[in-house]
Amino acid sequence: MKLQFNYSELLPVSLCDVYTHCAGVDLFVRGIHTVQLDAYTLEFESARDLTYAHMLLSSNAVYTVSEV
């Protein structure tokens, strides 16, 4: 179960990586454990955690998220 972050093509990959990492940390402090696979993807342990993260992160102005 994975969540894909979709960024503007104008953002450098290193900045996308930082935003994805920060989202993972934000989820961790809420009790959701993730693994960051690359600059654009977080992997989840359960469908419940994925659904919660999708709702929580979908209001960000820098990126959109989609389940893959």
What confidence score (pLDDT) does residue 12 get?
97
pLDDT digits (tens, 9 = 90+) for 4-32: 999 999 999 999 999 999 999 999 999 99
Distance (Å, whole) CA 68 – CA 64: 13
Residue type, 48: R
What confidence score (pLDDT) does residue 15 get?
97
The total of other beta-carbon atoms located within 10 Å of residue 16's CB is 19
Domain 2-67 top-level CATH class:
alpha beta
What confidence score (pLDDT) does residue 51 get?
96
Distance (Å, whole) CA 12 – CA 10: 6
> pTM score > 0.85 for this model?
yes
